[in-house]
Amino acid sequence: MTDILAMSREAFLAEVKGRVPRRWADVDFAGILGQIITWSMGHRRSLEVQPPGEQFTVSFGLKNTGHVLWAAYPRAEDGAKFVVLPRLFPLLADAKRTTILNAVSNVSPNMQIRPDALLQVPFYTLGTDSPMAGFLELLGKALVIARTHKPAAA
């Protein structure tokens, strides 16, 4: 694990611990984050850890493009969330956005995300095998789309 990643991870988990409501206190935030980091490290040819910024984030982005694939943010209402393709998602063509939104149903069938909104997934939804597998599938699709994204012609 790189120094930036280790420091970001520690700061993120400390911030989550200070914010998580009692209702979500049993969520394994470190374990969930660890699984996503492990998946991301398995794609080192395409992904690299990003600096944490000012919000105690942990994130990975595509090498050479600047597109963030995912970022984990602490938040008060449920402890933490993942945001997938935070800057790129609203800019995607309808078909690509639909592909990603359809993959969300494998994470949580009841999750509704508007096509023009950020794609946010609460950590607590990933606490079991099936939603985690769906989220990893979602990240895989997002990675393919981000690698092939070409900005719209002006």
Q: Where are the beta strands (DSSP E) in the chain?
A: 47-50, 58-62, 68-75, 79-84, 119-122
pLDDT at 1 (0 to 100): 55
- Judged by average pLDDT, the poorest of 16-20, 47-51, 65-69, 143-147 is 65-69
pLDDT tops 60 at residue 53: yes
Residue 153 covered by a domain: no
CA distance 154 to 57: 32
- Asked, for residue 78, whether it belongs to a domain, the answer is yes
Q: What percent of the chain has pLDDT over 70?
A: 94
- Residue 121 domain-assigned (yes or no): yes
Cα 81 to Cα 42: distance, rounded to the nearest angstrom: 21
Instruction: Give a yes or no: residue 139 inside a domain.
Output: yes
Tell me whether residue 47 is in a domain.
Answer: yes
pTM: 0.91
Q: What are the tokens at 144?
A: 């393919």
Average pLDDT for 18-27: 93
> Containing domain of residue 46, as a range?
3-144
> Is 152 inside a domain boundary?
no
Read off the pLDDT of each residue in 92-118 and give the average, rounded to a whole number: 81
Examine residue 154 and state whether it is found in any structural domain, yes or no: no
The total domain count for the chain is 1
